[in-house]
Chains A and B, each alone.
Chain A
Amino acid sequence: MRIVRTVVSLLLALFFLLPLSWMLVVSVKDEAMKIKGVLDWYKPPYTLDTYFYVFRETSLLRWMFNSFVVACAVTVLVVLFTSMSAFALSKIRFRLRGFVFVFILAGLMIPGEAMIIPLYQVVKELGMLDSYQGLILPAIASPFAVVVLKSFFDSVPNELIESAEMDGGGLFKIYYSIVLPLAKPAIASIAILTFIGQWNNFLWPFISITSEELFTLPMGIPTLLSQYTKDYVRPMAINSISSLPVIIVFLFSRSRLCAG
């Protein structure tokens, strides 16, 4: 029984690895390869020529850089802005607090994808289409992070803050030196989720960006691949180059993500 379970688990795991392994191995083959059966893909000879070609002939690196800049900027700003808001909602007793919280909570119910056409119009009227700002700013307006962080800040005891106030610390200092450090695990999760989400974001850049210099990786990849020809090696090399950075980051941060 135990053996059966182990075998089934291992087969499933191998099955999950198949597409990725195929992507990587095809990317180092030569387009002129002769394929008679599945194993032929996995056999040498290998070559990195296609990788060099992709780096030389395409803007993939530039788009990777764009994706990285956008994802980092969004992540930093989301963490900063949403934690400030969550702090105010959780720890400052201001008037209208309940109203503001419900106002933000309601935003959870607005599906971004369904509002992409009006968002396009709004960003157009602001003159921010086809720009970094146009990519970054709308992505920060996510109420999800505020709600999560607020519930986390709620569990920080108020006494800590009161005693800090007695010591003469300003609100910003309390936010910065007490609440933020205490919320590190929650902020780390938000940051990782935001980063991955932005790194993979397709629809909004696809619609709002028209200049090639501003393409992000996910929307750039399709423009490199013709609908009409089905070469195998170049697409897989492009896919591999695009994926390796996230895979590596994932393998390093997996303890955090997979801790459960």
Chain B
Amino acid sequence: MDAIIDAFNKSQSDITVKNVKLEWGEYYTKLVTGVSAGKGPDIGISHVSKLPELIKQGVVSEIDDVAKAANLNWGDYNQNILNATISGGKHYAVPLDTHPFIMYYNKKLLQDAGALGADGKPKIEPGADGFVKFLSGIKDKLPKGVSPMALSNNGDDPYRLWWAAYSQLGGNDIISDDGKSTAMDMDKAVKAANFVKSLYYDSKVIKPNDPDFYKSFQSGQAAVMMTGVWATGTWEATKDFDFGAMPIPNLFGNTKTWGDSHTIILPVTKDNDAKKRQAALAFAKFATENGQIWAKAGHIPASTKVVDSAEFKNMKYRSDYVSVAKDVVFPKQSDKTWPKNDILKKYLDEIWLNKTPAEDALKKIDNEVKSLLAK
């Protein structure tokens, strides 16, 4: 993001954009409290999945007026994501990227274990069994202390893998079409959960309770790992690190996966200054039209022009997973998506910790999401 802002600030002299970085999961809290205090920023980022909640809270403003004035062509954006940014016929955000959940692998470790094909890709047979066989097969061939796979045992990433497996099985959206109840496919959800759990406890291909699984992979302590595409930039910046990127393997008949998308929003401000709003949109336009800068971190740009550009096509790794963008199964747009995901992660964690059987945990999820939606 800093690179885009630098480029933008250099490209013209009327507008200066200043960035405030907030790590630590409190970004949205600060955005909402900032807006509520009348001290919100002029530009913000929102996940497309969070957008309906922010719109309902009155944190995000409509941008049709400024977009028109800036000649923003909505046709240049990935229509799937664009549709998710429209509410009540009005645009609320400019799509910036898609960031799917993918798999990374350490080429050298796989090569030494004899599991890398001539095409430089891991030799994995299709199906969940094929994937487990691949991991179990390299387990003994890897150097001592190196685990076949790295994944945290709680929070986001195992949840994402679960969602990928559940989606590959053809599971319904968790929220029913009318948005008032749940529509989870219990059998498929349990099957997907037991698959993820088996990686920790049955085939034991993941190091238990790894405090920092990014670092484990980065330092060659794990042969494969799964996370969002944003890690690409980090691996590229690591010295002497020969890695590859690929879609989540075909576990249940296809390669569907988890993903989300960043969009640029104009938060509601106290003075509603037209000039500042126009300037903010000019930045949004610049940032998305120059998505190749943002893609350096690893994300797939939401601007179709950028994706088709030679500059992006020549970027290493991205071309290996750009196709994944269409395999992403987005959850239904709802202002309850994030609270729902919190409930999911909370009880899925209990499965990964071997505290609660998958059936019970998912029943609890179903009940709690039901009462969330009834609120």
| B23/A224 in contact, CB under 8 A | yes
Does B208 touch A at the CB level, under 8 Å? no
Contacts of B33 in A (CB 8 A): 129, 207-208, 210
| A226/B34 in contact, CB under 8 A | no
Segment from A102-110, A185-193, A227-235 that makes contact with B: A227-235
Does A223 touch B at the CB level, under 8 Å? yes
Question: Contacts A207-B33, A229-B214 hold; do A129 and B25 have CB atoms under 8 A apart?
Answer: no
Chain A 196-220, CB-CB to B under 8 Å as 1, else 0, gives 0000000000011011100000000
Nearest CB on A from B311, distance (A): 30
Chain A residues 221-245 with CB under 8 Å of chain B are 222-231
| A223/B34 in contact, CB under 8 A | no
Chain B 32-66, CB-CB to A under 8 Å as 1, else 0, gives 01101111100000000000000000000000000
Chain A 46-61, CB-CB to B under 8 Å as 1, else 0, gives 0000000000000000
Residue in A127, A210, A212 with the greatest tally of chain B CB atoms within 10 Å: A210
| A227/B24 in contact, CB under 8 A | yes
Question: Contacts A124-B37, A130-B37 hold; do A230 and B212 have CB atoms under 8 A apart?
Answer: yes
Question: Contacts A211-B39, A229-B212, A230-B211 hold; do A130 and B23 have CB atoms under 8 A apart?
Answer: no
Does B22 touch A at the CB level, under 8 Å? yes
Query: Of A223, A228, A231, which one neighbours B22 at CB under 8 angstroms?
Result: A223
A225 to B26, CA, bound (A): 12
| B212/A225 in contact, CB under 8 A | no
Does B363 touch A at the CB level, under 8 Å? no
Q: Which label, helix, strand, loop or mixed, suits the secondary structure of the B interface?
A: loop
**B227 nearest in chain A by CB position:** A228
Question: Contacts A224-B23, A227-B23 hold; do A129 and B211 have CB atoms under 8 A apart?
Answer: no
What class of interface size applies to chain A in its complex with B? Answer: 10 to 19
Nearest CB on A from B40, distance (A): 8
A230 to B152, CA, bound (A): 12
| A225/B34 in contact, CB under 8 A | no
Contacts of A225 in B (CB 8 A): 23-24
User: How many residues of chain B get a CB closer than 8 Å to chain A's CBs?
Assistant: 19
| B214/A124 in contact, CB under 8 A | no
Q: Which label, helix, strand, loop or mixed, suits the secondary structure of the A interface?
A: loop
A227 to B22, CA, bound (A): 11
| B39/A210 in contact, CB under 8 A | yes
Query: Of B23, B39, B215, which one neighbours A223 at CB under 8 angstroms?
Result: B23
Does B30 touch A at the CB level, under 8 Å? yes
| B37/A223 in contact, CB under 8 A | no
Question: Contacts A210-B33, A210-B34, A210-B39 hold; do A227 and B215 have CB atoms under 8 A apart?
Answer: no
| B39/A222 in contact, CB under 8 A | no
| A228/B214 in contact, CB under 8 A | yes
A127 to B39, CA, bound (A): 10
| B37/A129 in contact, CB under 8 A | yes
Contacts of A228 in B (CB 8 A): 212, 214
| B25/A212 in contact, CB under 8 A | no
Does B310 touch A at the CB level, under 8 Å? no
Contacts of B39 in A (CB 8 A): 129-130, 210-211
| A210/B30 in contact, CB under 8 A | yes
Contacts of B38 in A (CB 8 A): 127, 129
Chain A 105-138, CB-CB to B under 8 Å as 1, else 0, gives 0000000000000000000100101100000000
A129 to B270, CA, bound (A): 14
Cross-chain pairs A/B with CB under 8 angstroms, 17 sampled: A124-B36, A129-B36, A129-B37, A207-B33, A210-B30, A210-B33, A210-B34, A210-B39, A210-B40, A211-B20, A222-B24, A223-B22, A223-B23, A224-B23, A225-B24, A226-B24, A228-B212
B interface residue numbers (CB < 8 A to A): 20-26, 30, 33-34, 36-40, 211-212, 214-215
